[in-house]
Structures are given as structure tokens and as C-alpha cells.
Amino acid sequence: ELKVEQNPLFLSMQEGKNYTIYCNYSTTSDRLYWYRQDPGKSLESLFVLLSNGAVKQEGRLMASLDTKARLSTLHITAAVHDLSATYFCAVHSGGGADGLTFGKGTHLIIQP
């Protein structure tokens, strides 16, 4: 059974600081996704990582994937208040159309 673990589950940080969210998963997969969710809202796709060593960046967010370590990271550079949200990683375990297995999410609060 595929398990996806995120840490930390809760993070309060100050604007301007850097931090990293970690996502570990238990079985082989070469597809990993990061989503953002604002309170009471739907999930917004941030990154799709499809191969070992993949790195993607968008603004102050950068995601990477190490399939050998079964680890993905979401790095936040010089955080700003607008990045406050819950961030989920999700892993696609099947070769076909299987759904995603999600982590529990990291609730990120960025204080001015």
C-alpha cells in the first residue's frame, strides 16, 4: 500500500525566510505532484514532476524529485504572506489511470 508522508504538517514562519517542506513516499513512483489549497477552496496544481532529478521553479517556489530516495521537496525562498496556504504532495503509483495518493498536507502560515 502506497503511503505518502509530509513534514512538517504545520509551519509558521516569518516573511523573508527560507524553508523546505518534505514529502516521502513508500513505493516506487516516478510521478509526483504538488498542489496548493487555500481555506475553503479547491486544489490548484503547482508542479508536476515526472522523472528522477526533475526540478521545477515558479516564483518563490521550487520543487524537486529524487525517485531513488523516494523524496520530493518544496522549497520556499524569501517567503511572502501570499504564500500562506496548505500544500499537498501526491503520488501516482499506477501505470495507468490510477488516482493520486495524497499526503496529509502542510499548513503554512507566513507572518508579516
Partner 1 sequence: NAGVTQTPKFRVLKTGQSMTLLCAQDMNHEYMYWYRQDPGMGLRLIHYSVGEGTTAKGEVPDGYNVSRLKKQNFLLGLESAAPSQTSVYFCASSRGAAWGNEQFFGPGTRLTVL
Binding site for partner 1 (CB under 8 A): 4, 31, 33, 35, 41-45, 48, 50, 88, 90, 92, 95-105
Find the shortest distance in angstroms from Cβ 78 to partner 1: 27
User: If 0-12 CB within 10 Å is exposed, 13-18 middle and 19+ buried, where does residue 39 land?
Assistant: exposed
Q: How far is the CB of 45 from partner 1 (least distance, A)?
A: 6
19-25, strands of its sheet edge to edge: 4-7, 19-25, 71-76, 61-66, 55-58
Residue closer to partner 1 (CB basis): 5 or 15: 5
Least distance to partner 1, CB of residue 66, Å? 18
Strand partners, 12: 109
